Structure 1
Amino acid sequence: MKNIKPKVLFFDVNETLLDLSPMKEQIGEALNGNKDLLKLWFTTLLQYSLVTSAAEQYYSFANIGAATLQMVAANNNIEINTNKAENIVTNALRSLPPHPEVKQALTQLKDAGYTLVAFTNSSQEGLIKQFKNADLTNYFDDLISVEPTNKFKPFSNTNAWGAKKMNIQPNEAMLVAAHGWDVAGALWAGWRAAFISRPGQQVFPLAPKTEIVAPDLQIAADTLVAYL
């Protein structure tokens, strides 16, 4: 399958397409100016999204984000009530800009005939607002939230649902993501994958070998447009 075009490119959103850096100001302000806690908060958010799925529970990504912000705050002797935490997380996630190379790379992929789909753990409403604010909507053929499955990526049945929704087989899908856990889940579900090695991100060594590893989306796009 390598060097043969996948039928659909599925894109993770947060950190892959959208830059989390501006969140440092908003999350840092909520945490008494400690901007360095952003990474801990986002990692805790991902951890508890998996915990809820493993326990067959479901809360929106924003709800889990607010809850984990309260947890990180409490561990640093800061109290944030639920309403404030939800407002901070919702506003922060929905106002993220795209990484500098993203629009050019997406244009190149679309011009090469690829079907582009956003595939995210965020809610459908949140995804639509994120893309409207980032001016990315028109680059994509579809915007898909995992919300209807009540289970987050990287669960295999969530990836299977995404492929089925686009009427393709798993091996005809490629996930483009900047998280090792997301890429690993896609590979174990029979998908192909491209890993965007944003700063601080690594592929998971125990997962199958990732087909494309690139430091940014433009370099990954350059590789993909050369596929037959």
Structure 2
Amino acid sequence: MAEMKAIVFDVYGTLFDVQSVQEACEQQFPEKGESISSLWRSKQLEYAFLRQLMGQYEPFNDVTRDALRYALETHECKYKDEIIQKLMDAYNQLRPYEETEEVLQQVQDKKLAVFSNGPDGMLDPLLRNADLAQYFDAIVSVDEIKQYKPATASYAYLLKQLDVKREEVLFLSSNSWDIAGAANFGFHTAWINRKGAPAERLGHNPDKEYENLKGLIEKNNL
């Protein structure tokens, strides 16, 4: 593998635990928090993918809100707008994985970026609340080009912002579909396979596979 000049991190599920929002869901809807948060996440991704296919882009915060409403209605939960807002606010305070900051501190010799389907309005408060924004040279959102990952155009836009060659980029994500999209574009990839899931059958395997982000800094992996 060529020397990596830039390391790019996906956000949701990679740096931050998206299921940590279940605590807020549980507070509002006792005994349903885990199930609601799980469906919320799956519909969030599904709606983003479907809108991409339909050519009807909507910002990720709107997609996330729609997915939340669907999850609550599926669970027959009665809600008001203020409850929706409380849960959306909780999404800006997701818990970073315990190793996240330590790993970011140890790779400061590289150009670091985050690349997410989330817009600045979601990413900025999330990174600020966790005190992680300081570690990144660039915070890039697909909202700037209105092409959700794993569309090829989204990764091409990211590359322009980094000002490096695509073979000099190491892209990390816990989402296997994101890894496949980045590999398809020509990035080197490392899959953060936190759940020990099998590889996707999308024609592209990751260059590296780690249980968590610490794999990046162990055994001279850079």
SS in structure 2 at match of 1:206: coil
CA contact (8 A) 2:215 2:221 kept: no
- Say if 1:100 and 1:198 are closer, same or farther in 2 by CA, change over 3 A: same
Give unmatched runs, 5+ long, in structure 2.
none
TM-score for both structures, normalised by structure 1: 0.89
Q: Which amino acid aligns with 1:22?
A: S
Equivalent residue, structure 1, for 2:12: 14
Segments of 5+ residues of structure 1 without an aligned counterpart are none
Q: Cα distance, 1:6 vs. partner?
A: 2.0
Match for 2:7: what amino acid?
L
Structure 1 pair 47–30 and aligned structure 2 pair: CA distance change class (3 A): farther
8 Å contact 1:121–1:145 — kept in the other structure? yes
SS state at 1:208 partner: coil
User: Displaced runs of 4+ in structure 1, greater than 4 A?
Assistant: none
The TM-score, its normalising length taken from structure 2, stands at 0.91
What residue in structure 2 maps to residue 48 of structure 1?
47
- CA gap 1:50/1:88 in 2 versus in 1, 3 angstroms: farther
Find the partner of 1:99 among 88, 97, 100. Answer: 97
| Segment of structure 1 superposing worse, 25-34 or 90-99 | 25-34
How far 1:166 sits from its partner (Å)?
1.3
Q: 1:35 Cα deviation (Å)?
A: 2.1
Question: For residues 175-214 of structure 1, what are the structure 2 equivalents within 5 Å?
Answer: 175-199=171-195, 201-214=197-210
Residues 202, 79 of structure 1: alpha-carbon distance in 2 compared, 3 angstrom cutoff: farther
SS at match of 2:17: coil
Taking the aligned partners of 1:27 and 1:152, their CA distance within structure 2 comes to: 26
Q: Please give the alpha-carbon distance, in whole angstroms, between the structure 2 residues aligned to 1:125 and 1:202.
A: 33
With over 3 angstroms needed to count, the CA separation of the structure-2 counterparts of 1:203 and 1:89, relative to structure 1, is: farther
Using the TM superposition, give the Cα deviation of residue 222 of structure 1 relative to its aligned residue in structure 2, in angstroms. 2.0
Question: What is the one-letter code of the residue matched to 1:6?
Answer: M
Mark the CA change 1:58 to 1:161 in structure 2 (over 3 Å): closer, same or farther. Answer: same
The percentage of counterpart residues that share the same residue type is: 24
Distance 1:8 1:89, change over 3 A: farther
RMSD: 1.9
Within the candidate set 134, 156, 159, 1:160 is matched to 156
Question: What's 1:109 paired with?
Answer: 107
Q: How does 1:133-144 map to 2 (within 5 A)?
A: 133-144=129-140
Could you tell me whether the CA contact under 8 Å between 1:10 and 1:116 is conserved in 2?
A: yes
The verdict on how the C-alpha distance between 1:184 and 1:131 changes in structure 2, with shifts beyond 3 A counting, is same
CA contact (8 A) 1:179 1:201 kept: no
Q: Which whole-Å deviations, capped at 9, do the CAs of 1:27-72 have from their partners, x for residues lacking one?
A: 2344453122212210110010111112122222121111111112
Partners in 2 of 1:204 and 1:216 — Cα distance? Answer: 18
Please give the residue correspondences for 1:25-174 in structure 2 after superposition, counting only pairs within 5 Å. 25-37=23-35, 38-81=37-80, 84-85=83-84, 87-110=85-108, 113-174=109-170
Is residue 2:213 matched to residue 1:217?
A: yes
Q: Is the 8 A contact 1:94 1:126 kept in 2?
A: yes
